[in-house]
A and B are shown apart, each in its own frame.
Chain A
């Protein structure tokens, strides 16, 4: 098995374009959650908060490629470009067949689906349907749009596992590079905010509904006054590369991936089971050949749902007790769904580089049932070497990665 490192990262987040913008906003403790006037007009929808991407110039992508892209693919392409630029790859690599793409979304573009059916149902006519519709709403839209726009000729994978999507994409990409099937994998996820996503959580009483007048105070992971998920959007993309290739090219190595696990929680399609999360964590530690005391920091999934945060706290406590710092980034920019794993890993890499743990924003009073683990409530200088990253998805899809600081050998 080959060692796999990350040599590029790119982000489009509710803070705007770029990893630096994300990092500075996190360092400043800024919330990007805001009131969503559109949501107030939707009958039955009780959650009127969200975090959306602003300030993107879609015309930086030529029309030839953009015509088949919904916003999620535009986010993914802009994030991918940033990652490839940082990793200093060029056409020799993208077109070699040795670079693949694993980028997924929760579903295809809901906005495109809505626009299509609004028109179609008006008179049951397809005569006004344009050629771009299918390419925007198909499930592998992000992956193929990125590969087309950036000239990447290797494998295409479009994992779709809601909140676990990009964590899985990175994990599967890691395995492909480790097994030598590809030398590079561009991995991540993207999603665009649509009321359907919010209502999915709201109807299950899992969306934040009590902070509509003070959006910056929600979501509140692990807090006793948390009331659910705040949905957001964006894209996170990482370039994975074999260590051998990165050293040969002489590029900066941002960190190493040393473990991946993903499991299916069959206890319930919506409610997480502690035991299944524990299985996932146990497997990822085994894959990384580490013991729990080797982990320095845990970046939790923690979306601020009542049950999810409790289950994750219990699962973390079982292995790590209260000795390992834990924080969630959902309080800053909500839940970017399929993008969340990759955006959060970009932030983790910045934490490793800068020796700072970003705390859980809006965590003021730790819920009794979320105690027993070491919550980080204010920025903390800390040397981080080995990180556990969790993502848990509706449908019972658990996923975890272990990342390690790379030290030049």
Chain B
């Protein structure tokens, strides 16, 4: 198999990047920024901004991120199986998916996936 698909990806990234860059930075040459403190303030429904924007978030988001990383590995391992299911063993993938479902079941039984 050839190497050409990488060149295609390269060209798509190049064209997309070039167009995006041009679209963002060329109009800047023609507009003159007239900043005022109100204009540069973050939008908070017309009120004066209170405190820092970089607020703390609840730990709940972290659970989803942890589960996502673990399951993403399962899914990534399932990709080769989906191509070659006709001539490979099935037990590893069944075990992987079963572990994933068991983790989902455990999390939801213990209420960790609950959004409170």
- Same complex for A and B? Answer no
**B binding-site residues for A, Cβ under 8 Å:** none
